Amino acid sequence: MTAPRHVSLDPDGLAGLCVLVAAPTGVVYHHQYGGTACRQGRQEGFLVPLAAFSALDELREIFEVHLDSVGTWNYRWPDEELDHLRRVIGEVSYWASDDGRSEEPKPLTLDESRLPDVDEAWIPVETPDGPGILIWPNSD
C-alpha cells in the first residue's frame, strides 16, 4: 500500500468556500481553523470548490464578528444561532452528479452529530457525496 499524500491548504490561498469530502483517496488535506485558536485539522478525501459568496460573508460575520474569531471549542450553540448556522449552510449549493453526465445543485446540511467540531473555517456537513468539512480561509 502506498503512503498517503499530504496537502497543506494555505489559508491565504483558498479562494472562498470549499468542502473536503471524506473518501479513501490516499490524499490527506491539512487546514488551519478556529480563528486565533489556530487549530489544525486533517481530512482524507477530495476538495470541492464552492461558489457561495453571500454564505461565506455570513459565515465570516458569525465567526469573526459575533464570536470574535476566538474559536468555538466546547461552545454551546443557542437555538437562534444554531438555526442561523443551519440556514446559511443550507444556502450553499453542491453540484452533484448521480450519473456522471448531468449535474444539479443540492444544498449542504449541517452534520449535527458532529456539532462539537464546528468552528471557524471548519464545519462538519453532509454532502450528496457523503460527510465532509466546509472550510474557508481562517481569520487569524
pLDDT tier for residue 96 given thresholds of 50, 70 and 90: confident
What cell does 26 get? 490516499
Element (H, E) at 40: strand 39-49
Average pLDDT, the chain: 91
How far apart are the C-alpha atoms of 6 and 123, rounded to whole Å?
Answer: 20
Domain count, the chain: 1
Q: Is residue 46 part of a domain?
A: yes
Q: Is the pTM of this model over 0.85?
A: yes
Q: Is residue 13 part of a domain?
A: yes
Q: 94 in helix, strand or coil?
A: strand
Q: Is residue 15 part of a domain?
A: yes
What does the pLDDT read at residue 9?
87
Q: Is residue 118 part of a domain?
A: yes
pLDDT tier for residue 11 given thresholds of 50, 70 and 90: low
Spatial neighbors of 4 by CB under 8 A, at least 6 apart, are 26, 27, 28, 44
Condensed to tens digits (0 to 9), the pLDDT of residues 15-64 reads 789 999 999 999 999 999 999 998 999 999 999 999 899 999 999 999 99
Whether 30 contacts 7, CB under 8 Å: yes
Q: Is residue 52 part of a domain?
A: yes
Could you list the residue range(s) of the whole structural domain that residue 72 is in?
Answer: 5-135
Q: Is residue 140 part of a domain?
A: no
What does the pLDDT read at residue 130?
95
What does the pLDDT read at residue 82?
97
Provide DSSP, 22-38. E---SEEEEEEESGGG-
Element (H, E) at 48: strand 39-49
**Mean pLDDT of the 110-139 span:** 95
What does the pLDDT read at residue 3?
84
Condensed to tens digits (0 to 9), the pLDDT of residues 50-90 reads 989 999 999 999 999 999 989 888 889 999 999 999 999 99
